Amino acid sequence: MKVTFLPDRERLALVVQDIRVSRRAFPLAEIASRFLSREDLYLVKLELPPPAEGRERKTFLQCLACKRVFRSRSNAEAHLLRDHLDTFFSIEETEVEPPTGAFTCVARCGLSGTLLGPPNYHSYNEKIQELWSSRFAHMSKGDYLAHIETLRDEALVEQWKDSVRKKTTYRLKDVPEGHDAESMTRAEAQDWMQSKLNPLLRESPRCIVPGPQSRRFDDNALRAEVSAAWQKESRFPLTLLLALRPAFRHMGLHLFKVNARETFVTAIPPVPVDIATAPDIVRDIILFLKDHPGIPRQHVLDQLRPGEDQASTLAAELLLHLGNLVAAGGVIEYFDGTLALPRSGAVRQAAAASPSASVRKPGAADEPAEQASASTETAPLLSSVAPPAKDSPAAEAADLPPDDRPAVPHTPTTADIPIPTPVATSNEAVAPAPALTEADTQDVTPPEAEKVEAGS
């Protein structure tokens, strides 16, 4: 069986929005790891291999109501009868008088601990049938009956009496006009629902399961396979990376590598600045970052405008141009606020003929200080995502050719905080995450997802 992991569609769209608003670059491998850190952030795709020639292909059965997956039809049907009677019925509970009569013993299910009632009680056999069909249908009824024990315990008899004081009735939600819904017992409701099960199940060799349901398989072998795949993915999230790359590209983001090792994602494609035609203040910023990569905006301000208050016009002018360079891709700002230049010749031959990049104080900027300080980005919601260490598997497994590379390796700080619940921080429309709709659950695989990347 092939097990792959996909990001949750809604969370992915919000993460993309945060990346766009922040204008910063985030490590792809660590974003994938954060998606895997919580089961509500990812989906699991299961795919059975094609059968040998002449043999019938095996399939899964998936409950369309909750997306739970089964290998056995009997277990899938038992799940529907146990957990989804509310699809067709409204369920009501009423208080009734406790059973009367002489009860000297009570039967108990040895597997679940459920009290079944005294063997001489009128609904004893009905209770056994209900419990067996809903929870232990994978066993033969004879094997299940062997696990029932009879106990002579007055306290347990009283406990059973209290448990049957509440009577549950079931009434059909949709009844013909002019007719009243009849009250049914649970067994009667399940008998009625038997003929309605097929439309509630989907049979396929491939299915996509929500993260929480991927830990609740009734089949021990299936649960063990998915658990082993999750352990492998947690060491290095390869299948999530394969899904995130084309998804991010399809949603308008850009991927680049640092020293052909670590892959980062940003909303702004890195574009080297031609300093031959750039204003003096832009040339100073570019040449300074060429010699001092990996520093935050405040350090640039302190070095190029020493002693200037951030609210002054000279500082505001510098911060405004630096913010414009980040917005245009001439400078890359990483998730932790450090800055670096794109590679591919950001500083050209004209640098040799340009004025010295020493500290200077140009004239006052036309823009007020309030505008310049507003260009300084605040840390986005994904600022807690840290890239992997240089010797980690994530750093060694970046396999796509680079688009643009920053001039120097990035060495950010380490953080272990999971991706927080995203909050919309902009009115900008967010494109829906691709390849995760109900119609696509039959066909989406990482190789096919790469086709989306090639065409985007």
- What tens digit of pLDDT does each residue of 121-150 get? 888 888 888 788 777 877 888 888 999 999
CA 191 to chain centre: 38
Rounded to whole angstroms, how far apart are CA atoms 293 and 331? Answer: 10
Total residue length of the chain: 456
Mean pLDDT of 211-238: 90
Any idea of the CA torsion for 424, 430, 433, 434, to the nearest 10 degrees? 180
What CA–CA distances, in Å, run from 221 to 26, 55, 228, 267? 37, 21, 11, 42
At 427, is the pLDDT very low, low, confident or very high (cuts 50, 70, 90)? Answer: very low
Question: Helix, strand, or coil here: 338?
Answer: strand
Which parts of 338-392 fold into alpha helices (H)? 350-353, 369-374
CA 12 to chain centre: 7
Question: pTM here?
Answer: 0.64
Q: Which two tokens stand for residue 240?
A: 């999530």
Radius of gyration of the chain (CA): 32
Question: Helix, strand, or coil here: 70?
Answer: strand
Q: Where do the domains of the chain lie?
A: 78-198
Rounded to whole angstroms, how far apart are CA atoms 298 and 304? Answer: 10
Highest mean pLDDT among 78-92, 240-254, 334-348: 240-254
More confident residue, 440 or 80: 80
Mean pLDDT of 413-422: 34
Check pLDDT > 50 for residue 390: no
Check pLDDT > 90 for residue 349: no
Mean pLDDT of 374-385: 34
Rounded to whole angstroms, how far apart are CA atoms 229 and 207? Answer: 16
Rounded to whole angstroms, how far apart are CA atoms 40 and 408? Answer: 36
More confident residue, 201 or 415: 201
What CA–CA distances, in Å, run from 225 to 163, 214, 215, 320? 39, 11, 11, 54
Rounded to whole angstroms, how far apart are CA atoms 373 and 315? Answer: 9
Check pLDDT > 80 for residue 346: no
Check pLDDT > 80 for residue 30: yes
Neighbour-count burial of 342, counting CB atoms closer than 10 A to its CB (0-12 exposed, 13-18 middle, 19+ buried)? buried
Question: Helix, strand, or coil here: 297?
Answer: helix
Mean pLDDT of 390-415: 37
Mean pLDDT of 39-43: 92
Rounded to whole angstroms, how far apart are CA atoms 331 and 269? Answer: 10
Side-chain-side CA neighbours of residue 39 (13 Å):
12
Any idea of the CA torsion for 15, 16, 18, 19, to the nearest 10 degrees? 120
CA 305 to chain centre: 44
Rounded to whole angstroms, how far apart are CA atoms 216 and 284? Answer: 59
| Average pLDDT of the chain, as a whole number | 76
Rounded to whole angstroms, how far apart are CA atoms 358 and 241? Answer: 43
More confident residue, 43 or 54: 43
- Quote the percentage of the chain above a pLDDT of 70: 75
- Quote the percentage of the chain above a pLDDT of 90: 36
- Looking up tokens 């658990």 gives 227
